[in-house]
Amino acid sequence: MHKIFFLLCMWATASFAGGIDLKEYKKTGSDRTPPPVVVNPAFEEGAKGWNLKGKARVERGSGTVASGGLLIERSAPNDYSLSGQELKLMPGRVYNFSIMIRSEDVKDGDRRGATFAVEFSDKTGKWIRGGAYPNGLRGTADWTRIEANNLKIPENAARTSVTLYLGKGCTGKAYYDDLTVTAADMNWSIYALNAPMGIIAPGKILRLALSKDGNSIMKAAAPGKMMLCGEFNGVQMDAPVVNGETALRLPENAGGSGELKIAVVDTDRKLILEETAIPLTVKELPEPQPVASCRIDGQGYAVVDGRRFMPVGVYCNAQFPWELNKIRDAGFNTILPYNSLSMGFSKKEPGWERIGEVFDYCEKNNMKIIFSLKDAYRNAGKWAVLSIYGEPTPKAVAAKAAEMFRRRPGLLAYYTCDELPNQMIPEMTERRRLLNRVDPNHPVWIVGAIGYTTESMKPYGPAADVIGTDPYPIRNNYSIKNMEDHLRKTVEAGLPYWVVLQMFNCRRYSQSDPKAETFRFPSADEFRSMILLAAGYEVRGYMFYAYEALCKPNPKLDGNTEDNLKTIKDGIGMLRKLEPFLLSGQPVKMLPVNVRQGDIRAWEFSDGSGNRRIAVVALGPGPAEAEITVDRPEQFKSQYGKTLLKNGKLSFKADNIDSDLLSNDHTINN
């Protein structure tokens, strides 16, 4: 907090009345990726450069303009073969891949159909996770360019393979032509930190975050020489960039909607380092708050009906009222139906009207819906929604959903990314901008893929009003240290944060794993500890994956279902009792911890009225013991019996993943 205050003061007091004349600057051409070499990309030299398998063959006249092209034909579903070319691309750099494809009677099997893939391997030939597998063509379709854009080559990749294929089990014919691989020099991520839904009031300081592929950009210019120049509806502003952030003070008379045009410059070398534009609306928000709306306030809290609201929700399918009753009765106030685009209770045909039945239920039961559009992308995987209810494209589907439900009081937010890889960030960013235009009264929430295609959440910043991650640490281990790593990296993005916590046994989704029988549902201590660890990192919403343990318990997949149910209800009950402290806006204090054994964190929360809570979390593994220093320790009472008062200090002792919650007003009960 002290650092942010210092930076704001510096930005507010800096004077740049003279402005910067960009006519004196030139665009930098440094650090550009060399163009990749693709051998025979249009099949004009027969099979040269290509490793063809099965019945794949190059034919004259099979290409886009009666030129050379590749034909892959399959009549037997089990006749699965892959053809392709290996490329030498620069590790750490970003590329765009695309190829023209035509299909004839492609059916059955993998829904990706006639498509291509990009995969990586290291110098030993070992496959590296994180490639691209776009949806292709099915049925009979004319030439279509299928793309995988903004794909980063892993640092340890020695080879990149472009593979052309018909999906497993598919039959039919697929034609290929004109493979294109271009360097997509890594654009900087520049996004507003305090303009949710792209809206900010006149005269406010607009804070912006800057990074390149999630990393610092501060070495791009000499210290103190990097500036950001902005122009909005004819008003020019500039400010220094410090530690990857900057701020522009908007004039009191600035207003309207448009684009904030941005140039990041090196004032020493007179270079334009990066140029971009972000949509922005400058206006005062109406008071009172519209009934069917969710705002994000200056501290990152959701605000509903004029009051702060903390989502405590669960991923589910919304098909039966009795399931939602169980979710409600367990203490949840929000649902995220994976089947949002087909949900409903009645026997009516799936459609917008039937979806409204779930909104009716939630509005009657004081619950909120985070509406999932995570599959409304062409390349969203096997569940991709390409068209529905007469809407011909994923973009049209998303726009129609927002038009249909933006005035429903049950709507809390839109969910547009469920661990989608970072090569889809440009598409996700456009989706967020579309939803912000159609419905400026509800935020877009995404869950990024830390550890999958990125080690930072910053690249996802342009795609989100609220950001999120989903650490699932409990398998057969006794540590949640990797969860803390997720929390830290997500907080660094600087946006409001809703976390997804584990409420399942990994055995459900990893039954083929040799160790699956040792996996377990989180214990009561582990479940509580994950919640309290997230609270210490000041997340603003708590979502839980998933609803099966409540609504579809299975002892073979979940373990002791009665214990699991009690773990859920007790943990959610504790969280709901903490709401006044987590919504208070009071600073969360990280407490001094004298650790004797283990890895331990402690925080103090306040409700602003003199009531305090202390959360102590042992991350595991092994024994944990520590003294916690806090003002007036004698006032605190332990809820879970892990902390005692000794010699004027609080003494915590536990094993493995564990935690305690202490109260100074003795109002919390076991």
Residues 201 and 107 in one domain: no
Tokens representing 19 are 């402005």
Residues 506 and 461 in one domain: yes
Least-confidence region, from 269-273, 378-382, 528-532, 623-627: 378-382
Q: Name the band, by pLDDT with cuts 50, 70 and 90, for residue 129.
A: confident
Measured in degrees and rounded to the nearest 5, phi and psi for residue 276 equal -160, 180
Q: Name the band, by pLDDT with cuts 50, 70 and 90, for residue 4.
A: very low
Average pLDDT over residues 385-390: 94
Residues 632 and 563 in one domain: no
Domain CATH for 368? 3.20.20.80
Tens of pLDDT along 212-257? Answer: 878 899 999 999 999 999 999 999 999 999 999 999 999 888 889 9
- Do the beta carbons of residue 264 and residue 273 sit within 8 Å? yes
Domain CATH for 659? 2.60.40
Q: In this model, does residue 15 exceed pLDDT 60? A: no
Tens of pLDDT along 134-167? Answer: 999 999 998 888 989 888 899 999 999 999 999 9
Residues 150 and 203 in one domain: no
DSSP per-residue codes, 2-13: HHHHHHHHHHHH
Q: How many residues does the chain have?
A: 670
Q: Is residue 357 part of a domain?
A: yes
Q: Residue 361: enclosing H or E segment and its boundaries?
A: helix 352-364
Of 522, 549, 582, the residue that ends a domain is 582
Question: What pLDDT is recorded for position 561?
Answer: 97
Residues 349 and 415 in one domain: yes
Residues 382 and 505 in one domain: yes
Distance from the Cα of residue 44 to its chain's centroid: 42
Tens of pLDDT along 364-378? Answer: 999 999 999 999 997
Tokens representing 492 are 């660094």
**Alpha carbon distance 278, 232 (integer Å):** 10
Angle ∠(586,590,592) on CA atoms, nearest 5: 140
Question: What pLDDT is recorded for position 191?
Answer: 98
Question: What pLDDT is recorded for position 213?
Answer: 77
Residue 35, Cβ density class (10 Å: 0-12 exposed, 13-18 middle, ≥19 buried): exposed
Q: Name the band, by pLDDT with cuts 50, 70 and 90, for residue 499.
A: very high
Question: What pLDDT is recorded for position 55?
Answer: 87
Distance from the Cα of residue 541 to its chain's centroid: 14
Tens of pLDDT along 458-475? Answer: 999 999 999 999 999 999
Q: Is residue 355 part of a domain?
A: yes
Q: In this model, does residue 16 exceed pLDDT 70? A: no
According to DSSP, residue 90 is labeled -
Residues 168 and 228 in one domain: no
Measured in degrees and rounded to the nearest 5, phi and psi for residue 459 equal -60, -25
Question: What pLDDT is recorded for position 513?
Answer: 76
* Total domains present in the chain: 4
Question: What pLDDT is recorded for position 10?
Answer: 36
Q: Name the band, by pLDDT with cuts 50, 70 and 90, for residue 29.
A: low
- Do the beta carbons of residue 501 and residue 548 sit within 8 Å? no
**Alpha carbon distance 181, 162 (integer Å):** 10
DSSP per-residue codes, 612-652: EEEEEEE--SSEEEEEE--SSGGG-EESSS-EEEETTEEEE
Question: What pLDDT is recorded for position 552?
Answer: 96
Q: Is residue 270 part of a domain?
A: yes
Question: What pLDDT is recorded for position 633?
Answer: 95
CA distances from 71 to 45, 68, 270 (A): 15, 10, 52
DSSP per-residue codes, 25-89: -EE--TTPPPPPP-SSTTSTTTTTT-B--TT-EEETT-STTSS-EEEEEESSTT----EEEEE--
The CA dihedral of 98, 99, 100, 101, to the nearest 10 degrees, is -110
Residues 172 and 196 in one domain: no
Residues 326 and 428 in one domain: yes
Domain that holds residue 200: 2-29+189-282
Q: Is residue 63 part of a domain?
A: yes
Q: Is residue 81 part of a domain?
A: yes
Domain CATH for 160? 2.60.120.260
Nearest to 667 by CA among 631, 639, 633: 639
Of 183, 200, 222, the residue that ends a domain is 183
Q: Is residue 359 part of a domain?
A: yes
**Cis peptide preceding 288, ω within 30 of 0:** yes
Q: In this model, does residue 18 exceed pLDDT 60? A: no
The amino acid occupying position 436 is N
According to DSSP, residue 311 is labeled -
Residues 379 and 490 in one domain: yes
**Alpha carbon distance 595, 589 (integer Å):** 18
Tell me which range, 63-67, 273-277, 420-424, 495-499, is most confidently predicted by mean pLDDT. 495-499
Q: Name the band, by pLDDT with cuts 50, 70 and 90, for residue 13.
A: very low
How, if at all, do strands 302-304 and 307-309 pair?
antiparallel
- Do the beta carbons of residue 90 and residue 33 sit within 8 Å? yes
Tokens representing 662 are 């202490």
User: Can you tell me whether residue 584 is helix, strand or coil?
Assistant: coil
Of 248, 282, 316, the residue that ends a domain is 282
Nearest to 197 by CA among 394, 411, 413: 413
Q: Is residue 363 part of a domain?
A: yes
End-to-end C-alpha distance for the chain, whole angstroms = 34
Residues 252 and 175 in one domain: no
Residues 413 and 548 in one domain: yes
Q: Residue 561: enclosing H or E segment and its boundaries?
A: helix 561-582
Q: Give residues with Cβ within 8 angstroms of 514, minimum separation 6.
A: none
Distance from the Cα of residue 7 to its chain's centroid: 27
Q: Is residue 468 part of a domain?
A: yes
